[in-house]
Amino acid sequence: MRVISTDEGRALVEARGVKVHYKVSSGFLSALLGRTKVVRAVDGVDLSIPRGGSVGLVGESGSGKTTLGRALLGLVELEEGSVLFDGTDVSSLKGNALKAFRRRTQMVFQDPYTSLDPRMRIGHQVEEPLKVHGICSSKEERRQRVLEILEKVGLVPAAEFYSRYPHQLSGGQRQRAAIARALVVGPEFLVADEPVSNLDVSARAQILNLLRDLRREMNLSLLFITHDLAAAWSVSDKIVVMYLGKIVEEGTREEVLREPLHPYTQALVSVIHDPKRKKGERLRISGEVPSPLNVPQGCRFHPRCPFAMDVCRRVEPQMIRLKGGRAVACHLYS
Ligand code: SF4
């Protein structure tokens, strides 16, 4: 099933039945005897991101969001399924075509402290991808392009930030530099993996605004990975909720926030601060996401679901498309 409709145009990125599984062994003896277990990190995902569109991928840690993001960038091997970029199967790319794909797709990581080299000036780090991809014919042209992108991400005066080292920047400024490095090559698709979770409240709001503005200005397709539904709401057109390797709900950001259907989404929405919410209206779920090594039978969410029925323990719910393109995987709607 296609999860996101392509009403804004042809999909730029598509995942079709993507599974990413890892084999692990619990110790030396198990490895020696060839006894392995399978981590089902992503377990059959369909997802489509329109050109210029933005999808917020939401879920707790351990839900498989980051692995899915990396799969869309061709950075992990698929167990099953395929990823298409601009209509081409990413696994078939080689040589120059693969290099062009790497330029057209970029990633921003959670931790700007570790994603930047502490020994290199910011300008040189942002310039690096231009060298790798052979963009710009001269050193001066490269410097000019770096100054432009530093200005675009709000690191002004750009010439001053060009010469600074990462330790001379605040957390928010470092994340701006990381975004500049990702965008300097003019990508079409950006995966931002928890880009604000290590920042304080004000830096966080600024980076979210920046991502929203840059996306529109550069017509970027964005996959915004987060555990925070409110953050996803502020930069995404559509929201996709993931639980233990599967997508459980998707819809426009308004639909998902105003009327969450899946009990897991309802629980995520209910932790967002809302002064109008009455006492007792919060849906609480207990426990942690189970290990992807031991995925529960039936509905994966049933051990934590306050509405679990007998059928939920036996039969895995399929994604049901509802009126208006919304989709949910839950027996309450079948
Ligand atoms: Fe809860 Fe059952 Fe729906 Fe799963 S299928 S979310 S256990 S009601």
CA 191 to centroid of ligand 1, rounded, Å: 30
Of 243, 300, 313, 330, best ligand 1 pocket probe by most atoms within 8 Å of the beta carbon:
330
What is the CA(308)–ligand 1 centre distance, in A?
A: 5
Render pLDDT for 105-154 as a digit per residue (tens, 0 to 9).
999 998 877 889 999 999 999 999 999 999 998 999 999 999 999 999 99
CA of 136 to the centre of ligand 1 (A): 54
Spatial distance between the Cα atoms of 313 and 4, rounded to a whole number of angstroms: 28
Using one digit for the tens of pLDDT, what is the confidence trace for 296-305? 999 999 999 9
Pocket test for ligand 1, best of 295, 305, 310, 328 (most atoms within 8 A of CB): 305
CA of 256 to the centre of ligand 1 (A): 17
pLDDT attached to residue 1:
44
Element (H, E) at 249: strand 246-252
Distance 301 CA to ligand 1 centre (A): 6
Residue 213 three-state SS: helix
Q: For residue 306, is the peptide bond before it cis, meaning its omega torsion is within 30 degrees of 0?
A: no
Does the Cβ of 300 fall within 6 Å of ligand 1?
A: no
Which residues touch 331 (CB under 8 Å, ≥6 apart)?
Answer: 299, 309, 311, 312, 315, 317
Q: What is the maximum span of the chain, computed from C-alpha positions, in angstroms?
A: 68
Cβ(248) to ligand 1 under 6 A? no
Question: What tokens were used for 315?
Answer: 């039969």
How many angstroms does the Cα of residue 331 sit away from the middle of ligand 1? 6
**From the CB of 332, is ligand 1 less than 6 Å away?**
yes
Give the pair of three-digit tokens for residue 328: 């949910």
Q: In whole angstroms, give the CA distance from residue 53 to residue 280.
A: 36
For residues 211 and 232, is the Cβ–Cβ distance under 8 A? no
Nearest to 150 by CA among 192, 195, 184, 200: 184
One digit per residue, pLDDT tens: the chain, 334 residues? Answer: 444 443 445 799 999 999 999 988 766 666 666 678 899 999 999 999 999 999 999 999 889 999 999 999 999 999 999 999 999 999 999 999 999 999 999 999 988 778 899 999 999 999 999 999 999 989 999 999 999 999 999 999 999 999 999 999 999 999 999 999 999 999 999 999 999 988 888 899 999 999 999 999 999 999 999 999 999 999 999 999 999 999 999 999 999 999 999 999 999 998 886 666 665 666 778 788 888 889 999 999 999 999 999 999 999 999 999 877 799 999 999 8
